[in-house]
Amino acid sequence: MSRRRKDGPPRVRRRDIFVPRPFEGLADEAQWVALRELVPAATAPLQLRPELVAQHGDHGERPVTLATLLPMAWPAVARPDGRILVGLQRHVESGDPNRDVAAAILAALATPPGSPVPLPAEPDEGPRLADVIVDGELDVSVHGSFDFWLDGDTGPDATDQSVKASLERANESIYPTVRMAAARAAYWCRVPGRAHLRWVLPEREDAALTALARLGAAGGLKLGEDTKLAGMFRARSLLVPVWDLPREPEAGQWEEPLAAFAARYADALGVEGDLDPAARRARQGLVGRQLTLR
C-alpha cells in the first residue's frame, strides 16, 4: 500500500496547530481530502461568493481554479489573463488547509494579473472556504501531467528555470490516475508492479469502520479475484480503503466491481445494533492495518 504519490511537497507548518477535519461541513468533503492527499494532478473550477465578487469589483470576476499542486508548491498563481490558480498541496501551511486555501484565494484576488502572489499571512481566525466560495460538488478534471501549469502564454513563465525544473520533476514522478465514476472521491492509479484503487469514504470514521467490519466478517471486502484490501489510510479524519489490484486491467474494468462494493457498503451502513464477535475481530484487524496521513 503506497502512502501517496512520491512527488508530493514536504509540509512545513508555520504554527503548532492541526485541524483534524478541516473540510468538515463542505458538501464535497471527501473530494477535497482526495485532492489534498491522494491525487497527483487535477483541477476543479471554484465559484466565488456573490458578495465577494461585488466587494472586489472587476477583480472579483476573475475565474478561480483549484489545483492539486502548483510549481514549487506555490499557494496561488495570478495569470496575466486574470485567471487564478490556487494550490491545495503546499510546502508551507498553517495546519488548517481550509483557511490556507481561503487566504490564498483572497491574496490572489488582491494581486494584479501576472504578478507573483505573496504567501498569505497565517489565517488564524480569518475567512474559511465557506466564506469565500459557493459550496457544492467539485467538478474534478484529472490530468496526465502538470503541463496545465503553463497553459500557453498565460501560465507561469516556461523559461523560468525553477518553474521548468519543478515541472520536469513533477511530470517524471506522476503515476497514471483515473477518477472513478462508480463512487465519488474514488481513484484508480497504476504504480510499479500493480495498481491501486483508493476511495475516500464520506461517512464519519466510526460509522465507516463499523460498516467495513461487517463486510469483512462476511467476506465482502474484495473487489474481485486477485484483489485484496491492502489496508486503509486515515486522511483528515476520513477513512480511505486501499485495494491492491492486478496491474494490467485499465481503470474502467473496475467500475462494476466498485459499484457492487459501494452497494454492499451502503447496506452495511444501514445495519443497526452491536457487532457480533466475527465483526469485532474484523474491526480490530482493520484498525491494525490503518495508516494516518499528516
Q: What is the pLDDT of residues 210-244, one digit of tens each?
A: 999 999 999 999 999 999 999 999 999 999 999 99
* pLDDT reading at 120 higher than 70: no
Mean pLDDT along residues 27-52 = 96
Q: What is the pLDDT of residues 76-110, one digit of tens each?
A: 999 999 999 999 999 878 889 999 999 999 999 99
Mean pLDDT along residues 113-128 = 80
Ramachandran assignment for 65, one of left (phi > 0), alpha (psi -120 to 50 degrees), beta (any other): beta
Give buried/exposed letters for 224-242 (b at 16+ CB in 10 A, else e): beebebbbbbbbbbbbbbb
What distance in Å separates the CA atoms of residue 148 and residue 43, rounded to the nearest whole number? 9
CATH code 3.30.1460 region(s) in the chain: 182-293
* pLDDT reading at 291 higher than 80: yes
Q: Provide the percentage of residues in the chain whose pLDDT is more than 70.
A: 88
Scan for cell 496526465, then name that residue: 144
Nearest to 90 by CA among 114, 122, 113, 115: 122
pLDDT at 4: 44
Q: The dihedral of CA 102, 106, 107, 113: what is its sign?
A: positive
pLDDT at 293: 74
Read off the pLDDT band of 10 (50, 70, 90).
low
* pTM of the predicted structure, to 2 decimals: 0.91
Contacts 24+ apart (CB under 8 A), 156-160: 156/71, 156/77
Arch. (CATH architecture) of 182-293: 2-Layer Sandwich (3.30)
Q: What is the pLDDT of residues 136-151, one digit of tens each?
A: 999 999 999 999 998 6
